[in-house]
Amino acid sequence: MARPKLAVWKFSSCDGCQLTILDCEDELLEIAGALDIAQFLEATSEVKDGPYDISLVEGSITTAHDMERIKAIRAQSKVLISIGACATAGGIQALRNFADVEDFTRAVYAHPEYISTLAQSTAIADHVQVDFELRGCPVSKHQLLELITATLAGRKPHVPRASQCMECKRAGAVCVMVSQGTACLGPVTQAGCGNLCPSHRRGCYGCFGPKETPNAVALSARLAAQGATPPQLRALYRSFNAGAADFATESRRHD
């Protein structure tokens, strides 16, 4: 049987999630052995035509051209998986969704008239059907390997949507919110990062986006009682996953 053809695509993003694929150093040869890497410009300029069995899509949709391109990619892909906060929630560039994008282009570019961009930065799933969304800024190497392995084996990937707190507690990390009063998004954030920030005594920044059934209203009430101001609460929810519906709604409550 021919090896499944893999394509890796980039939209508006920092390339960090594609680098996570390359960061699978020990497993990279095995991945290359199991899959025919047909399109992955970050890694190789050799490009094969579609259709593709698996497409991994990094980045958000920010231009009219992006909107056309993602439809063409979807049409050539048997399985389409969006990877990372940009592709699953619009990324940090979705901060424009809370402002007027022309204010930004005027402030940043000498010739804003050359900039052709959409008013909003949106997730891949807002434009085409997505078979699986892998969260994270960047995605976790462990979850990425599990996703590839599960897709090859034809089973559902084990990527729990439960809270970051579960991961902290299993690892024996001492809760920073309870033990030092640090504002932490862990209780409303999906696990997966390996509790990077809490194990360094920092609060969770929500890189993996909202968990299943998040109760951000109750978390904000508690953080406010611990001294967080409305601008601080707004900023807390408005970062890498600002455009994720549950975080966007909660940040707007503190405008």
Partner 1 sequence: MSASPAPALLIDDPAVLVEALQRQGWRVIGPQARDGAITYDPLTPGATLPKGLTDTQEGGHYRLGAGDPGRWFDYVVGPQSWKKHLFPSRQKLWEASRTDDGFAVTPVQDDYPKTAFFGVRACEIAAMEVQDRVFDNGDFADPGYGRRRAATLIVAVNCTRAAATCFCASMQTGPRAKAGFDIALTELATGTGLLVEVGSDRGAEIVDGLDLPRANAAHRAEAEAASAAAAAMQTRAMPPGMAGVLAANLDHPQWQVVADACLSCGNCTMACPTCFCSDVEDVNDLSGDHTERWRTWDSCFTVDFTYVHGGAVRRSTASRYRQWMTHKLSSWEAQFGTSGCVGCGRCIAWCPVGIDITAEAAAIAASPVPKE
Q: Which of these, 249, 196, 54, lies nearest to 132 by C-alpha position?
A: 54
Dist. CA 67–CA 59, nearest whole Å: 12
Q: Which of these, 146, 130, 138, 124, lies nearest to 209 by C-alpha position?
A: 138
Bridge partners of 80, per DSSP, are: 55
Determine contact, residues 199/171, Cβ cutoff 8 Å.
yes
Contact positions with partner 1 (CB under 8 A) in 11-70? 27, 30-31, 33-34
| Of residues 181 and 230, the one with the C-beta less far from partner 1 | 181
Give how far Cα 159 sits from Cα of 30, 145, 231, Å. Answer: 21, 11, 33
Q: What is the DSSP string of 47-96?
A: ---S-EEEEEEESBB-SHHHHHHHHHHHHHEEEEEEEHHHHHH--GGGGG
Please select the residue that binds partner 1; options are 22, 47, 75, 221, rule is CB under 8 A: 221
Reported as type and span, the H/E element at residue 234 is helix 230-237
Contact positions with partner 1 (CB under 8 A) in 63-82? none
Q: Order across the sheet with 52-58: list the strands.
A: 36-40, 5-10, 52-58, 77-83, 132-134
Other CB atoms within a 10 A radius of the CB of residue 96 amount to: 22
Please select the residue that binds partner 1; options are 201, 202, 252, 253, rule is CB under 8 A: 201
**Contact stretch for partner 1 (CB under 8 A) within 72-80, 121-129, 130-138, 153-161:** 153-161
# binding residues, partner 1 (CB under 8 A):
44
**Contact stretch for partner 1 (CB under 8 A) within 42-50, 95-103, 123-131, 141-149:** 141-149
Please select the residue that binds partner 1; options are 69, 74, 141, 161, rule is CB under 8 A: 161
**Contact stretch for partner 1 (CB under 8 A) within 9-17, 39-47, 90-98, 158-166:** 158-166
Residue 115 sits in the site that holds partner 1 (CB under 8 A): no
Residue 210 sits in the site that holds partner 1 (CB under 8 A): no
Please select the residue that binds partner 1; options are 57, 94, 118, 177, rule is CB under 8 A: 177
Residue 213 sits in the site that holds partner 1 (CB under 8 A): yes
Residue 184 sits in the site that holds partner 1 (CB under 8 A): yes
Q: Measured from the CB of residue 188, what is the shortest distance to partner 1 in angstroms? A: 7
Bridge partners of 190, per DSSP, are: 163
Residue 147 sits in the site that holds partner 1 (CB under 8 A): no
Which residues of this chain interact with partner 1, rule CB under 8 A?
Answer: 27, 30-31, 33-34, 145-146, 148-149, 152-153, 158, 160-163, 165-166, 169-175, 177-181, 184, 186-188, 201, 211-215, 218-219, 221-222
